Amino acid sequence: GGLTKAAMNYLASTARHWDLVDLTKLRDVDLPGTALNQAVIESGLHVAEFPEQYGCLNMPISASWPETGRKKHLRFARRAYSGILERASEGFRIRVVDQPHLEPTVLGRIIAVEAQKRVNGQLSAPFIGSFPEVFRLLFNSLGRRGFIAIVLVEKNVELVAYRLLFKCGTKLWDYQTAYNHDYAELSPGTVLICGAIDYGFQHGCDEFDFLRGMDVYKQRWTQEFRQSKRAVIWSKRGLSQLIGSLYVRLRMPLSGSNALA
């Protein structure tokens, strides 16, 4: 609430420098009265909200992984998790780093694994590796405050896979993941989610949020989802009001929208 209000006040104070603000991929931005809408109104700005095409799948966390994994539809995950445990004698292990500022080598190891990440069979452009200083700062600042958790699958000192999560209250947000393709047959991505659920339960979390997108692999875990939304914001300046009105009419369907003057 406080951060949202501060952001809207900043936009209001700098309104002469912009005409339109388009905020996408928003979670839980619902009807009038929510933090964003209230902050926009109080700052003297205008907003229109629209549902996005894709929702965010989420999975309730109500038990440890061994218990959760007993569910019939999670048989595939139970097998993968057990496979890693059965190879403990080879040095395989699953662990969670929730104080990344105390492990100065973890970022470099993550970047090295990310360099192997593939999308549709093709190497994808690195993200964490493109902004190492940003993530080092995040690890140092948010890590100290308990807002980051990194699930790792390791073989001795070798990093096999990682999953970077943000902790927001009692929610775990699934942010970035990658694995060493030499170990693809072990389904390390699946194992990481098992480890995240177990960590979440042990630390009072009640939901694992897969964030934006209805990917097939996510639907193997859960069918629960919330709608993502976007918010278009404009000011009282004549040009801004004109652009905002035209944008809403031309770029987005009016049916189902929620506009606040």
Q: State residue 128's pLDDT score.
A: 96
Strand residues in the chain grouped as ranges (E): 21-27, 46-60, 92-97, 118-119, 122-123, 148-155, 158-168, 171-179, 207-212, 225-234, 258-260
Pull the structure tokens for residue 64: 């440890």
Q: State residue 226's pLDDT score.
A: 81
Q: State residue 257's pLDDT score.
A: 44
Q: Which pTM value belongs to this model?
A: 0.78
Q: State residue 28's pLDDT score.
A: 56
Decide if 170 contacts 103 (C-beta within 8 A). no
φ and ψ of 23, to 5 deg: -100, 120
Residue numbers in the chain where pLDDT is lower than 70: 1, 27-33, 251-261
Helix (H, G, I), strand (E, B) or coil at 65: helix
Q: How many CB atoms lie within 10 A of CB 12?
A: 17
User: Distances from the Cα of 12 to the Cαs of 200, 234, 237, in angstroms?
Assistant: 38, 9, 11
pLDDT tens for residues 45-80? 999 888 777 778 999 999 999 999 999 999 999 999
Q: State residue 1's pLDDT score.
A: 61
pLDDT tens for residues 15-35? 999 999 988 877 654 444 477
